[in-house]
Structure 1
Amino acid sequence: MKKYTIQKTPFVVPTSDGKIIEEHFGKVTDDGAKISIAHMVAPPKWSEPFQTPEFEEYTYVIKGKKQFIIAGEIVVLKAGESIKIEKNTRVQYSNPFDEPCDYISICTPAFSFELVHREAH
């Protein structure tokens, strides 16, 4: 049995808001429920609705900046910075800035629409 898996063809999640999401490991790519790892690019002026996910989410910003509203507090990460947001925390992710934000997102357990609990816009 092989002791490793190399991901050369991540699943590109269809979006309608200009955000690029490439899932390298997770529910869609390899049916993994424990963890999801995705490379994302959020375009300038992008945002998504508030959510209260049933998973921890780690974000590492590669390039640009990303804004988080976490339990009412505004936090801005710059390139080279990372954050861990505890599960069951109300959060909104956005890029209100003028340049794209390139980042890695890791969720444990893996991201799923059943666990994310996004609010209506």
Structure 2
Amino acid sequence: MIPSDDPNRQLTVVRPSSDELRSVALVGDVYTILVSGAQTSGRYCLIDMRIPPGGGPPPHRHDFEELFLVQEGQLLFTFRGEEVVVHAGESVNIPANAPHFFRNVSDRPARMQCMCTPAGQEEYFLQVAVPVESATAEPPTLSESEQAESRERAMRLADQYRTELLI
């Protein structure tokens, strides 16, 4: 039997021009939280990712699923050591616990949306990344000491957010 409707849950409509969206810069990419776990009772989060040429995270793994929907450009995904190029209009599902990373290997910016289920990855990003004004903001240039501090914070908080950095 399907449970009763929960009137405490609200409809979520995301408007890209909203001042309420939070954007952060991490490893040269800009990530904008479109839908948070707080809005979905922890079921999932949705993150808009803008990846410049050469951008992308280091190898990592985590105990939740990720679904990437590539909207612009192309990215090279490395999954358990195997590489696959993914183009605009294509999707990639990363199973929980599998080592992976992606890189923009083109000379043009790439953009994708990432759904993590269950939610939590958006909170990790908010804890370890640098806030920026908007999804289209340029990420700040960090000094070597600021980069080292960011890496240390990411490593220190990774376990709390069910993530393992493989660097």
How would you bin the TM-score normalised by the shorter chain? 0.7 to 0.9
Deviation at 1:5, TM superposition (A): 2.3
- Contact 2:29/2:56 (8 A) holds in 1: no
- Per-residue deviation, residues 19-62 of structure 1 (Å, max 9, x unmatched): 111101124x6485220101111000113211111111000111
Deviation at 1:11, TM superposition (A): 1.3
Q: Which structure's residues are more often strand, by fraction?
A: 1
Q: Which structure's residues are more often helix, by fraction?
A: 2
Q: How many pairs are equivalent? A: 118
The structure whose Rg is larger is 2
Residue 57 (structure 1) aligned to one of 66, 76, 80: 66
What does residue 11 of structure 2 align with?
4
The answer to whether the aligner puts 1:36 opposite 2:83 as a matched pair is: no
What does residue 118 of structure 1 align with?
165
State the TM-score, normalizing by the size of structure 2: 0.64
Residue 85 (structure 1) aligned to one of 94, 100, 119: 94
* Identical-pair percentage: 25
SS at match of 1:47: coil
Residue 117 (structure 2) aligned to one of 101, 108, 112: 108
Whichever residue aligns with residue 68 of structure 1, its letter is: F
- Contact 2:76/2:105 (8 A) holds in 1: yes
Deviation at 1:75, TM superposition (A): 1.0
Relative to structure 1, the CA distance from residue 23 to residue 119 in structure 2 (aligned partners, 3 Å threshold; closer, same or farther) is same
Gaps of 5+ in 1: none
Distance in 1 (CA, whole Å) between partners of 2:106 and 2:13 is: 34
Whichever residue aligns with residue 13 of structure 2, its letter is: I
Larger relative contact order, structure 1 or 2 (CA cutoff 8 Å, min sep 6):
1
Q: Superposition RMSD on alpha carbons, in Å?
A: 2.0
Gaps of 5+ in 2: 1-6, 125-160
